[in-house]
Amino acid sequence: MNTYSNAAGTVILPYVVGNAEAIYVGSSWDGLIRDSELIVMFGGAPLKNLQVAGGGPGMHMGEEWLRRAKEAGIEFVNIAPLRDDAADFLGAEWIHPRPNTDTALMLGMAHTLAEEGLHDPSFLKRYCTGYDRFESYLMGGGDGQPKDADWAASITNVGAGRIRALARRMAASRTMIMTNWSLQRADHGEQPFWMTITLAAMLGQIGLPGSGFGFGYGSMCGMGGPRERIATPRMHAGRNPTGSFIPVARISDMLLNPGGWYEYNGEARTFPDIRLVYWCGGNPFHHHQDINRLLRAWRRPETIVVHEPWWTATARHADIVLPATTTLERNDIGASPKDRFILAMEKAIEPIGEARNDFDIFVDLAGRLGTREAFDEGLGEMDWLRRIYEDAREQAAERLVDYPGFNAFWEKGHVEIPAPVEPYVMHADFRADPAGKALNTPSGKIEIFSETIDGFGYEDCPGHPAWLEPIEWLGGDGATNYPLHMISNQPATRLHGQMDSAGISRKSKIKGREPVRLHPADAARRGISEGDIVRIFNGRGEILAGAVLTDRVRTGVIQISTGAWYDPVTPGRVGALDRHGNPNVLTPDKGTSRLGQGPIALSALVEVERFEGELPEITIFRAPGIMADAK
């Protein structure tokens, strides 16, 4: 998962389930542990992901919840190309379909439910709309191809008998379906999420304790954590006076096609003509797809300004770099809507050298533009922290939750929000009263067929969930030249590309290169041994990495984590060999569909070979030469 953009999910779900609750909240773990019998995980629940959360977790509970679930007797199924996407202690059944074929697998199970009468027609009629349109497709209406288990087996490479057996097992159990956010970061990434909802609806268990569906439980810490749904401190985004925006994954498209049009979420939109890029708090040369294409796009603006504490690849490609403070050099508040703790982040040291807080930089820029008072409202750093905390405190009081005053909070260092007495069951209120608690969808129900989406006329995202062949996958023509599917997931030794220069990250590397895991059978066919430096390549680029052989990766798949800082042998040259192992040199830059326009980094085919040449030295962790100011 190369970016935390949720474009593929946040577009689909408002039409289908009514709000973002399914993405960011989900039924709480205490209830799942009490009532679930079977948890089926598409994309698993990797423990490394459960160590991080947006805003920072006050307590790391992800592994603890999984252990409690196992102790409670819940059975797990891990559907993923990597065995260690589920912790060994779960004893999960490992099903490893071809990557990007989860939707076909779900369709095969749905066909079994319908054909054998294991679905719940009464639930589908009362709480859903459009099932009949979907069932026609499922049974072969239109194309004459029933989406049965045999059909799914030919696509997924999972046995038809195993597909049918899992469907029957899910129907016979109190079943929770968990789908990881990573599945949306593939071509047609909207489909597995829509199909997750449809499969759960066919089982008829949505809104019941211990069952239904949820997204992101294995994506970060805090998902499913019991928490009162009250405010946390946050800055208000304000209003965008231009009304202009782009889906975050369309950066290169925008820069390369000023004035060009594209389709997104039912609209025909126009790319703006960007002359200046001001990038603060991100690193596109880590997370964006097809870095060689980004390199071409990055040359188009007249000026690029970057805030950074570190000499990342993005900073090295900027015209102006403003040194910004790290977390340790400024005061802040740590908080997440999925966590029960609010943290006072008092600075540990004064800013080093010429580093300045982002806030102070913006205040001075606003002053030069004559808008300082409108920007900072006469408040300094601590004044703003006090304001956003007290705003959250006031909202919490409306829910009868008492936060201490700001001074007491800052002195103590944290606030703990009490856990709810009863577990939260997503959509329980809707199940109990579908008319009075209707969903915020056009129909007020779960939309298995969406008239709205169907009305957009997108062949790459029709009006119901469907199997659509990805641009690159192991069953496609591209596998002839590039027969390995690359999974570029989150690393265990850093977050994204942050702190790649630190000891724990560099210790994991092989001869200074990012490790790449591949199955021993795939390695043997290529004459690759443990610890070899290999060249990974396709038509978009080439990188070096260090080989790790393991049977915990499915055959036909390689796994290399995101986050190795881009270090081309010839800086600035499009197509140069990246000596360090950044997989986004190899990933395609295409939208999931015209609906979502999300990134498809997990739809990438490559080939791997031993690297026989002289090994180039890693240079990315050295500061570049600085020219003295001209006098």
Using pLDDT thresholds of 50, 70 and 90, give the confidence band for residue 10.
Answer: very low
Per-residue tokens: 499: 């702190």
Q: Please state, for a pLDDT cut of 90, what percent of the chain lies above it.
A: 88
Answer whether 195's CB lies under 8 Å from 465's CB: yes
Of residues 96, 187, 103, the one with CA closest to residue 137:
103
State yes or no: pLDDT of 2 exceeds 80: no
Dihedral pair phi/psi, residue 75, rounded to 5°: -95, 145
Confidence at residue 199, expressed as pLDDT on a 0 to 100 scale: 98
Per-residue tokens: 493: 């030794």
What is the identity of the amino acid at 361?
Answer: I
State yes or no: pLDDT of 5 exceeds 60: no
Strand, coil or helix: 622: coil
Give the tens place of pLDDT for each residue, 393-416: 999 999 888 999 999 999 999 999
Rounded-to-integer distance, Cα 578 and Cα 584, Å: 10
Confidence at residue 21, expressed as pLDDT on a 0 to 100 scale: 57
Rounded-to-integer distance, Cα 265 and Cα 260, Å: 17
Give the tens place of pLDDT for each residue, 478-527: 999 999 999 999 999 999 999 999 999 999 999 999 999 999 999 999 99
Where along the chain do its domains lie? Answer: 16-225, 275-416, 477-610
Strand, coil or helix: 128: strand
Confidence at residue 239, expressed as pLDDT on a 0 to 100 scale: 86
State yes or no: pLDDT of 630 exceeds 50: no
Element (H, E) at 104: helix 102-115
Strand, coil or helix: 311: coil
Strand, coil or helix: 322: strand
Q: Look at the pTM and tell me if it is higher than 0.85.
A: yes
Say how many C-beta atoms besides its own lie within 10 A of residue 91's C-beta: 11
State yes or no: pLDDT of 535 exceeds 70: yes
Q: Provide the edge-to-edge strand list for the sheet that holds 414-416.
A: 332-335, 341-345, 414-416
Region 612-622: what's the mean pLDDT?
A: 95
Dihedral pair phi/psi, residue 71, rounded to 5°: -65, -30
User: Sign of the CA dihedral 219, 221, 224, 228?
Assistant: negative
Which residues neighbour 129 within 8 Å (Cβ) at sequence distance 6 or greater? 443, 445, 446, 447, 448, 449
Of the listed ranges 176-180, 380-384, 450-454, 624-628, the least confidently predicted one is: 624-628
DSSP 8-state symbol, 197: H
> Into which CATH architecture does domain 275-416 fall?
3-Layer(aba) Sandwich (3.40)
Strand, coil or helix: 205: coil
Give the tens place of pLDDT for each residue, 113-163: 999 999 999 999 999 999 999 999 999 998 999 999 999 999 999 999 999
CATH code assigned to 477-610? 2.40.40.20
Give the tens place of pLDDT for each residue, 539-564: 999 999 999 999 999 999 999 999 99
**Beta strands 446-447 and 515-518, pairing class:** unpaired
**Beta strands 276-280 and 605-610, pairing class:** unpaired
Rounded-to-integer distance, Cα 196 and Cα 194, Å: 5
Using pLDDT thresholds of 50, 70 and 90, give the confidence band for residue 231.
Answer: confident
State yes or no: pLDDT of 531 exceeds 80: yes
DSSP 8-state symbol, 301: S
Q: How far is CA 338 from CA 5, 226, 367, 417, 560, in A?
A: 17, 8, 37, 11, 29
Dihedral pair phi/psi, residue 114, rounded to 5°: -70, -45
Could you identify the residue written with the tokens 């040194």? 323
Of the listed ranges 6-10, 213-217, 335-339, 384-388, the least confidently predicted one is: 6-10
State yes or no: pLDDT of 358 exceeds 80: yes
**Mean model confidence pLDDT for the chain:** 94
Region 379-384: what's the mean pLDDT?
A: 96
Answer whether 48's CB lies under 8 Å from 38's CB: no
User: Would residue 305 be called left, alpha or beta, if left means φ above 0 and alpha means ψ between -120 and 50 degrees?
Assistant: beta
Confidence at residue 181, expressed as pLDDT on a 0 to 100 scale: 94
Element (H, E) at 560: strand 557-560
Confidence at residue 631, expressed as pLDDT on a 0 to 100 scale: 42
State yes or no: pLDDT of 184 exceeds 80: yes
SS (HEC) of 247-296: CHHHHHHHHHCCCCEEEECCEEEECCCCCEEEEECCCHHHHCCCHHHHHH
Say how many C-beta atoms besides its own lie within 10 A of residue 332's C-beta: 17
Rounded-to-integer distance, Cα 9 and Cα 99, Å: 19
Answer whether 497's CB lies under 8 Å from 312's CB: yes
State yes or no: pLDDT of 13 exceeds 70: no
Strand, coil or helix: 261: strand
Dihedral pair phi/psi, residue 574, rounded to 5°: -65, 130
Rounded-to-integer distance, Cα 392 and Cα 143, Å: 54
Could you identify the residue written with the tokens 């936060």? 403
Confidence at residue 192, expressed as pLDDT on a 0 to 100 scale: 97
Q: Please state, for a pLDDT cut of 70, what percent of the chain lies above it.
A: 96
Using pLDDT thresholds of 50, 70 and 90, give the confidence band for residue 467.
Answer: very high
State yes or no: pLDDT of 534 exceeds 50: yes
Residue predicted with more confidence, 13 or 436:
436
Q: Which fold has domain 16-225?
A: Dimethylsulfoxide Reductase; domain 2 (3.40.228)
Strands (E) in 9-130, as ranges, are 38-42, 75-79, 93-95, 128-129
Confidence at residue 53, expressed as pLDDT on a 0 to 100 scale: 85
Strand, coil or helix: 424: coil
Region 41-53: what's the mean pLDDT?
A: 94
Give the tens place of pLDDT for each residue, 296-346: 999 999 999 999 999 999 999 999 999 999 999 999 999 988 889 999 999
Rounded-to-integer distance, Cα 232 and Cα 338, Å: 9
Answer whether 342's CB lies under 8 Å from 415's CB: yes
What is the identity of the amino acid at 441?
Answer: T
Residue predicted with more confidence, 609 or 24:
609
Strand partners, 489: none
Give the tens place of pLDDT for each residue, 51-60: 988 888 888 9
Using pLDDT thresholds of 50, 70 and 90, give the confidence band for residue 7.
Answer: very low
Rounded-to-integer distance, Cα 493 and Cα 311, Å: 19
Answer whether 270's CB lies under 8 Å from 260's CB: yes
